[in-house]
Chain A
Amino acid sequence: DADVTQTPRNRITKTGKRIMLECSQTKGHDRMYWYRQDPGLGLRLIYYSFDVKDINKGEISDGYSVSRQAQAKFSLSLESAIPNQTALYFCATSDPLAGGSTGELFFGEGSRLTVL
């Protein structure tokens, strides 16, 4: 089983709908992240969380919200989806006490979202 699990893997929705992407991890890492991948733009950080009570905006947080339900769970919500939020979304974790002290990230397999 994957250490970082994302659900759903694929989702097609309509403009205006609320969507939640979920991420759970078994790595025991405190830090979790949501990234968005678009062709030609690389990965951009949406939100990050250092622990359950610490949530921070990344570079492209507008139109998104997050919830850190537990150390192992970090959800991304699109309150009212729009077509330009069509993208591949990745959850990642890091451990500042280990390899993550350098910023090394461990990724889930991605959630492909299409907004019509």
Chain B
Amino acid sequence: AQSVTQLGSHVSVSEGALVLLRCNYSSSVPPYLFWYVQYPNQGLQLLLKYTTGATLVKGINGFEAEFKKSETSFHLTKPSAHMSDAAEYFCAVSYSGGYQKVTFGIGTKLQVIP
């Protein structure tokens, strides 16, 4: 069975500081990995995804994530936080073959302090 663990349900960073949101997954087959972002009163939108190939994935708004198979991790980073990055971030996993069931983490709320 697949699962996703997001460490830290709330993360606070200062404006201009590094953003690091942690995600570890469990999957018995090669995973597809996603980060979604949810701004207040909005639905989720895709930030970035890893399917195959390059393990460092770049997404929208300056975010990137690195797939590390040995650590079963897919942490999300951004070098310099902006106020507009304040949102909730969800890590998700699916896998190839058959129905691509998507399992979500519990989410991490990012607060950016001026």
Interface residues of A (CB under 8 A from B): 4, 40-45, 50, 90, 94, 96, 99-105, 107-110
* C-alpha gap A96/B90 in the complex (Å): 21
Residues of B within 8 A of A94 (CB): 100
B107 engages A105 (CB within 8 Å): no
* C-alpha gap A101/B97 in the complex (Å): 9
Query: Given A42-B90, A104-B34: A109 and B42 within 8 A (CB)?
Result: yes
* C-alpha gap A103/B49 in the complex (Å): 10
Query: Given A42-B106, A43-B90: A101 and B100 within 8 A (CB)?
Result: yes
Residue of A4, A96, A110 ringed by the most chain B CB atoms within 10 A: A110
* C-alpha gap A83/B107 in the complex (Å): 23
**Min CB gap B27→A, angstroms:** 12
User: Total interface residues on B, using CB and 8 Å?
Assistant: 25
Residues of B within 8 A of A104 (CB): 34, 46, 49
**Min CB gap B6→A, angstroms:** 8
Closest Cβ neighbor of A10 among chain B residues: B41
Residues of B within 8 A of A42 (CB): 90, 104-107
Query: Which residue in B9, B36, B99, B100 is a CB contact (below 8 Å) of A102?
Result: B100
Query: Which residue in B44, B94, B95, B105 is a CB contact (below 8 Å) of A107?
Result: B44
**Min CB gap B50→A, angstroms:** 9
**Min CB gap B41→A, angstroms:** 8
Query: Which residue in A4, A105, A108, A109 is a CB contact (below 8 Å) of B102?
Result: A105
